[in-house]
Amino acid sequence: MSNGFLLGAGASYELGMPLVDELSEMFKKQLINAISLPGYNSPGPIRKLALSLLEDPDLNYEDIIGRLEIEFFRNRDNNLHNEWHWIIKKYNDAIFWILYDIHSRKLEFIDAQLELFKSIEKFCTTSPLWVFSLNHDLLFEMICTATQIPMKFGMNGKKEIYGVNFETLSKEEMNSNRFSFFTKEKRTVNLVKMHGALDLFTEGNNRDYLKIVNSNSPSATFKDLKHIVETDMATKNNKISFSPLITYFDNDGVDQFLMKTILSGKHKFTDKIQHDSGNWFFRIFEGYINHVKSLYVIGYSFGDEHINIRLCDWISFSASRKLIIVNPGIGEIPLQFRHLKDQCSIMKIGFRDFLHQNSSR
């Protein structure tokens, strides 16, 4: 059995990514400034509600998107159906652009800090390390690339777009449970990103997945993403894109669309609302977490009920399974796990200190 990591926002904080409150402030500022721009402007009732949500100091970005989702499935006006759906897409897209901008501005800082996280290799000395991430950023891939640890993402195929290499996963492969992961190889990582990512897209009617993959240097994947973004006609001359899609031309000159996968809000993987990102990587998490005996929950605040339910099922299956919470802000076992507290423990430290503390493993 393998070690596993479940990564929340706190796992990326020390490498320059924002926590929920800071990201929410950026999100609100960007969308308030853009609310009257083409692509963001909405009919009166939607605009009025959206602005009131953005100006509410008690709501974070997921609360705001969650309320918009509720209005979407409450709506009985057919004329507004597409408008509600569009604004949810755009608000998820805003998260993409905020994180993209942070990566772009802090790339040199991130590169300089990666050396401090190389102790991660101590967790995969005998078998692959399973990493289930709730984050949208590219930081864990950058750590692995800097440490020269091979990664797999469950994908089987390959595709090139404008000189950028992607790995692909087709609907047929998903339906047949044909996923490519390391099984016994030492010093390897299997990475599953459940809530979408900057470098993960879907394409076509079948919603096949495409992920940018470049291990030439820690920053290579982001630079490839930047190239794809900058060749998209919708974003070439605009600071803020008016479309949650990236357009490219295939070898026959036909325009194709990459759909961004970032998933937020309060109704992830429910029947109430459908997202372009689908639920396949969450389903992979549900199954493949059973390869893990000791799960380190790093920087996660236990705010996603769909994750908490699966964690509870996982640890309940066997008394030998251990849940180790790594978070300087958590002092007690979360309520939903207290009946299993003999299998849970807390380390009140950040990700970097956790890795250093375990460097003698």
pLDDT digits (tens, 9 = 90+) for 292-311: 999 999 999 999 999 999 99
How many helices and strands in the chain, by DSSP H and E? 11, 13
- Rounded mean pLDDT, 77-85: 85
Band (pLDDT 50/70/90 cuts) for residue 347 is very high
Is 270 buried (19+), middle (13-18) or exposed (0-12) by CB count in 10 A? middle
User: Which residue, among 213, 256, 251, has the nearest Cα to 233 in the 3D structure?
Assistant: 256
Buried b / exposed e over 88-106, threshold 16 CB at 10 Å, is bbbbbbbbbbbbbebbeee
Span of 28-42, 285-299, 322-336 with lowest mean pLDDT: 28-42
Percent of the chain with pLDDT over 90: 77
More confident residue, 73 or 329: 329
- Rounded mean pLDDT, 143-162: 96
Q: How far is CA 358 from CA 15, 151, 194, 283, in A?
A: 19, 21, 26, 30
pLDDT digits (tens, 9 = 90+) for 229-256: 998 866 655 545 557 889 888 888 888 8
Mean confidence (pLDDT) of the chain: 92
Separation of alpha carbons 42 and 81, rounded Å: 12
pLDDT for 361 beyond 50: no
pLDDT digits (tens, 9 = 90+) for 312-324: 999 999 999 999 9
pLDDT digits (tens, 9 = 90+) for 207-230: 899 999 999 999 999 999 999 999
* Bridge partners of residue 245, in order along the sequence: 259
Band (pLDDT 50/70/90 cuts) for residue 358 is low
The pLDDT of residue 113 = 96
pLDDT for 132 beyond 60: yes
Domain ranges across the chain: 2-20+106-357, 21-105
Query: Helical H runs in the chain?
Result: 10-13, 20-34, 44-54, 61-74, 78-113, 139-146, 171-175, 220-230, 280-288, 305-317, 351-357
pLDDT for 44 beyond 60: yes
